[in-house]
Every structure is written in C-alpha cells, then in structure tokens.
Amino acid sequence: MVKQILFAVALLITLAVFAWTMRRLFFNFKFTKKLPLDNIPKRIRVTLEVAIGQTKIFRHPVMGLLHALVFWGFLVILAGSVEMVIDGLFGTERVLGFLGPVYDFLFAAGDIFAAIILVSILVFLFRRLFMKVKRFYGPEMKPVSKADANLALSFILLLMVTLLGMNTFYLLEMASHNEALTGVYPVSILLAGLFAGLSPEVIHFWHEFNWWGHILLIFVFANILPYSKHFHVFMSVPNVFVSRISPLGYVENMESITKEVKMMLDPQAAFAASTEVPPKFGVSDAEDTSWVNYMNALSCTECGRCTAVCPANITGKLLSPRKIMMDLRARMKEKGPGLHKEGLIFNDGKSLIGDYISEEELWACTMCNACAQECPVNIHQPSLILDMRRYLVLEKSAAPAGLNTAFTNIENNGAPWQFSPQDRLKWADELYINSTE
C-alpha cells in the first residue's frame, strides 16, 4: 500500500508539472494566426510515411536506421510504461499479462528494442562527444544546446539500462520463487545468467531499484523534454500531420494582397466603401506567424540537416534555416508571458526581425527548398523566411537595391527588366521573323 501511495504522489506531481508546462507552451498558440487544415486523408498518409515510417531520416542510411530503430523501439516500449503505471497505482504485477501471446510478442520486442536503443544511444553519444560532425556545430549551437542533447541522450541510456535491469531481475526473482514468468525476454534472459549467484533478497532489491529507477526517470524525463530539443519526441508526429502538404516550391499567395488585387480589377468593389483596417503584411514578430510555424519551431530537433544542405550556409552566408526555427521558438518563449498579461498590444521593444534574425540572413535565402526537403519532421522553413521578407518589402520598403530596381521595372514595364514592353520583340528584328519577304 505504501508503494502505491508513493507512486500515486509521484504520478500526480509529474502530471501537474507537465500540465503547467504544456499550458504555458500551448497558450502561445492563442496569439498566432489561424490556418485551415485541409486534405486530411493526404495528411494521414504523409504522417504514416514520414513520421511513423521515418522515411526522410533514411537519407543518411546508417544513422537514419539507428534513429528509426530508436523511434520504433520507443513506440513498442510505451506499452510496458503504461503497464508500469497501472501496476504502480493498483499494486498489480505485470497486469497486461492476460494478453497472452500478444503480450509475449510485445514484451519480447520491447526487450530486444531496449538493447538496440542502448547501443544506438552509445553510438549517438560517441558521435556527439568524440567526432566533429559538422552539422552539430554552428553559431546558433551554444554550449547549452550541446549539453541539452547530451543530457537527453544520457537519460534515454539510463532508461534502457533500468528497463533491461528490471526485466533481468524480474526473471531472477521469479526463478528464485519458482513462479511462472509473464512475458518473454530474449535479451534479459542472457543478462540474468551474469547474476545467477545472488541471494533472493539482493535480487528483490535490484528488481525494485530498477523498477522505481525506470519509472521515476520516465516521470522526470517527461518534464525535462518540453525545455529541450528532445521535445520532438512528443511533437514530431503531430507536427508532420499539420505540416505543409503543397508541393515544396509552391508559393502561397497572400490573402490580403489577393483581395486588394481583386478589388482593383472589379471597379464596383474598388469604389465601395471599406471600413476594414488593413492587416500587417508579412511577419515581423512571433505573434505574426501562423500556428503551424510555431508548431514547427516547437518540433525542431536542432539536427542541422537543413543547414547542412543550405546553399547559402554552405557558401558562407549568415543564413542557417535551423537558426530561423530556433529563433522563433526563443522569441515566443521570451514574448509569450507579456502577451499573456497584456494581450497583442504588448510591446517589449524587441522583435523577431532585427533582434533575433537579421535582414542579411533573410535575403541570403535562395528559396531552393533544400532545407524543407531534408527536414525529418517536415518543417517548411522557406515559407517563414518568405513571410518575413514580405514584411520587409511591404511594410518597410526595405528590399535590397537590386530587388528595388526589379520591383520598379515590374511596376513600369510589366517585367523585371529595364526595357519598355513595346521593345520586347526587338530581339527578333534581325532574324527576319517578322519580315514579309
């Protein structure tokens, strides 16, 4: 009974802290722009393919496979965690055992996956600590980002050690009492051989130690995740579901501009009195972004796959698409509390453009979409960059000189070049194409 009470208290604290954090993070969605979610069947297909099937991660075959195995392993092991919560609350022992062969299959897979995840995490840690993998570096990757990644990996490592420990000592405990086993544990049964000589009391102690160690690590880890890049553990699947599904190079029209153009083309509407206050064009700060942009920022794993393929970054420009997503997340975190208190009128004298992202970064983007193509969680960085550029052009008239010339030419000549529309076919004169001879 004491164990159940302790467990219930630990669970309540975990849920309360988690709910408090989620409320803070998700309340910020209230300040973002609405965007409809269309084509649900296609979204389900993309989610199965990219999130569950992990297809994009396989572009790096070896590390991709290890990462995919960790992800799939987590899904399988989740069943064991649910069982532990039920056991903890109701004082039962391996309560899902009534599932019979399904249980055996699930827990055998979980036991094997625990070993695979353990080895994969050791490889990940080795790469981060001892190999200079270029995409893990960059001006935006501060020491705290690296410490965050290493801490999360260490947590996962300990989770797998305690899971295997729990299974191993469970097998030994059942054997010491001559009781039947619930489930199949192909890896732990091998490990059990290493501890065969221990007394029943010691075996019981280590079973309890690993059981509590594992579940408490889950509780603590769940509350650290929202403050870490590993928040993608929760966010990646929903993020893929809400991600942009139109073709990568497709440029969305600005609804407000489309409306203006339609009004200009319709004389009746153009002269009709409009009381509507014109909206702000583009994005200059966190609250101007759409809820999908913010979801993207919360889901960014900081893996750097986008920056590694960005031609602007590769050729030494300031732009890093990873930084764009990290900056939006940081800015929303900074401005969120003020927005909560004072609403959208809150102004702290700072802004996403300028204080976080420079104009130089924004204009370095070639809109090639390589970053979006590579992102394993389907983040679309170019659309956010484009919206910030739209703000600079439409609200600040702050386009680079070369673009301003092109804009003037479009306005005067209907084309970005400095020639009159009447001269457009002059190039053909000498080819006698227009000749009647």
The footprint of ligand SF4 (CB under 6 A) covers: 300-306, 310-312, 319, 321-322, 325, 365-371, 374-375, 377, 379, 381-382
**Distance (Å, rounded) from C-alpha 306 to C-alpha 216?**
35
Distances (CA, A) of 200 to 161, 184, 189, 212: 21, 21, 17, 18
**Distance (Å, rounded) from C-alpha 243 to C-alpha 295?**
9
Cβ proximity to ligand SF4, 7 vs 231, nearer residue: 231
CB of 115 to ligand SF4, least distance (A): 27
What percentage of the chain's residues is helix, strand, coil (to nearest 5)? 70, 0, 25
Q: Rounded to the nearest 5°, which phi and psi values hold at 33?
A: -80, 145
Cβ proximity to ligand SF4, 156 vs 339, nearer residue: 156
Cβ proximity to ligand SF4, 112 vs 245, nearer residue: 245
How many other C-beta atoms lie within 10 A of the C-beta of residue 108?
17
Six-digit token string for 300: 């960014």
Cβ proximity to ligand SF4, 210 vs 299, nearer residue: 299
164, 330 Cβ separation under 8 angstroms: no
Single-letter amino acid code for the residue at 203: I
CB of 369 to ligand SF4, least distance (A): 5
Cβ proximity to ligand SF4, 51 vs 375, nearer residue: 375
**Distance (Å, rounded) from C-alpha 237 to C-alpha 330?**
22
CB of 371 to ligand SF4, least distance (A): 3
H-run or E-run covering 332: helix 321-342
Distances (CA, A) of 227 to 149, 231, 367: 11, 7, 30
111, 147 Cβ separation under 8 angstroms: no
CB of 329 to ligand SF4, least distance (A): 10
137, 214 Cβ separation under 8 angstroms: no
CB of 403 to ligand SF4, least distance (A): 16
Cβ proximity to ligand SF4, 168 vs 381, nearer residue: 381
* Number of residues in the chain: 437
Cβ proximity to ligand SF4, 76 vs 303, nearer residue: 303
Residue among 75, 55, 77 nearest 164 (CA): 77
Cβ proximity to ligand SF4, 182 vs 381, nearer residue: 381
242, 309 Cβ separation under 8 angstroms: no
CB of 401 to ligand SF4, least distance (A): 20
CB of 235 to ligand SF4, least distance (A): 10
CB of 327 to ligand SF4, least distance (A): 11
